[in-house]
């Protein structure tokens, strides 16, 4: 690996590599899939919204990329995740990069009143879903002797947030899971890191009222929401050889939220 990559090299730095992105039908996942495809990777898009993932993959292919969508993936179901990993390897021959991004917001309720079914759903999706992905991605990468994984946590993986006990607990868990797995696989050629986005203008905020959006924007010193593309750039950097000595770390992209 050269010490410095020039612009043409950066443009196709993922040529010959295959990436699996969960939650790829929209938002951060879609932005990551698009950015990886632009960098030369073959990209597999996985989502519970199979139609959305397929439409996104078709557009990437029409634009000249190598891309495919899995059948519907439910990250709460380890068998479904295993099928997505197998699909990736069967379709493109390897699994070199993975972005475990699928997640849900859950209801806004204080801890003492939080709906138990909603708690279980958020934990199953946002935390156990990441574990299921790691559980099936890691053996493939270890067998290859190489791989890079980014788990999408949240700024709420380091802060609390009133009314979101399940989401906050799950995202804290993702950070801890990332650090543990990174230690376990550091000598086996696999890098594992996490990102912590602030509030990003994605479909997860679609139901927020104007007043709620204004309140959330005010939490960020830059005075705006982040964009999916801004988060994707950080994720793609962590997946790249440029981040070859970054292991088990948690990187915030939050417009100053955590600096206050």
DSSP for 121-157 reads HHHIIIIIHHHHHHHHHHHHHHHHT-EEEEEE--GGG
The model carries a pTM of: 0.93
Domain-located, residue 2: no
185: annotated active-site residue:
no
End-to-end alpha-carbon separation of the chain, Å? 38
pLDDT score recorded for residue 10: 60
pLDDT score recorded for residue 204: 74
Domain-located, residue 1: no
Domain-located, residue 260: no
| Burial state string for 31-65 with b = 16 or more CB within 10 A and e = fewer than 16 | bbbbbbbbbbbbbbbbbbbbebbbebbeebeeeeb
Rg of the Cα atoms in the chain? 18
Please say whether the beta carbons of 221 and 255 come within 8 A. Answer: yes
pLDDT score recorded for residue 173: 98
pLDDT score recorded for residue 139: 98
**pLDDT tens digit at each of 260 positions of the chain:** 334 444 455 669 999 999 999 999 999 999 999 999 999 999 999 999 999 999 999 999 999 999 999 999 999 999 999 999 999 999 999 999 999 999 999 999 999 999 999 999 999 999 999 999 999 999 999 999 999 999 999 999 999 999 999 999 999 999 999 999 999 999 999 999 999 999 988 877 777 888 888 888 998 999 989 899 999 999 999 999 999 999 999 999 999 999 98
Selection from 19, 127, 128 nearest residue 70 by Cα:
19
Task: Give the domain CATH number at 164.
Answer: 3.40.50.720
Domain-located, residue 153: yes
Count of domains for the chain: 1
User: What would the two tokens of residue 30 be?
Assistant: 């879609």
Domain-located, residue 108: yes
For residue 109, count other CB atoms closer than 10 A to its CB: 15
Domain-located, residue 66: yes
Query: Looking at 167, 185, 250, 257, which residue is catalytic?
Result: 167
User: What would the two tokens of residue 193 be?
Assistant: 């890191």
Domain-located, residue 259: no
pLDDT score recorded for residue 3: 42
Residue ranges making up the domain that contains 30: 7-254
d(CA 212, CA 226): 16
Give SS3 for 28.
Answer: helix
For residue 124, count other CB atoms closer than 10 A to its CB: 18
Domain-located, residue 181: yes
């Amino acid at each position: 690996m050269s010490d410095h990559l020039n612009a043409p090299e950066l443009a196709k730095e993922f040529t010959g590599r295959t990436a699996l992105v969960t939650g790829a039908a929209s938002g951060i996942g879609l932005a990551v899939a698009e950015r990886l495809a632009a960098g030369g990777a073959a990209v597999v898009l996985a989502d519970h919204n199979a139609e959305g993932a397929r439409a996104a993959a078709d557009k990437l292919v029409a634009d000249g990329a190598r891309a495919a969508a899995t059948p519907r993936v439910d990250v709460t179901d380890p068998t479904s995740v295993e099928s997505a990993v197998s699909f990736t390897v069967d379709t493109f021959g390897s699994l070199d990069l993975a972005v475990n991004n699928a997640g849900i917001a859950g209801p806004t309720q204080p801890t003492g009143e939080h709906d138990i079914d909603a708690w279980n759903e958020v934990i199953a999706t946002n935390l156990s879903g990441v574990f299921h992905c790691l559980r099936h991605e890691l053996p493939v990468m270890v067998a290859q002797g190489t791989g890079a994984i980014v788990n999408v946590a949240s700024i709420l993986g380091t802060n609390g947030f009133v009314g979101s006990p399940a989401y906050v607990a799950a995202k804290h868990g993702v950070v801890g899971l990332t650090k543990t797995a990174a230690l376990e696989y550091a000598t086996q050629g696999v890098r594992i890191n996490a990102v912590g986005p602030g509030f990003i203008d994605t479909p997860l905020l679609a139901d927020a009222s104007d007043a709620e959006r204004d309140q959330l924007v005010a939490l960020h010193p830059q005075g705006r929401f982040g964009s999916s593309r801004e988060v994707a750039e950080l994720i793609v950097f962590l997946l790249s050889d440029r981040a070859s000595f970054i292991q088990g770390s948690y990187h915030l992209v939050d417009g100053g939220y955590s600096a206050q």
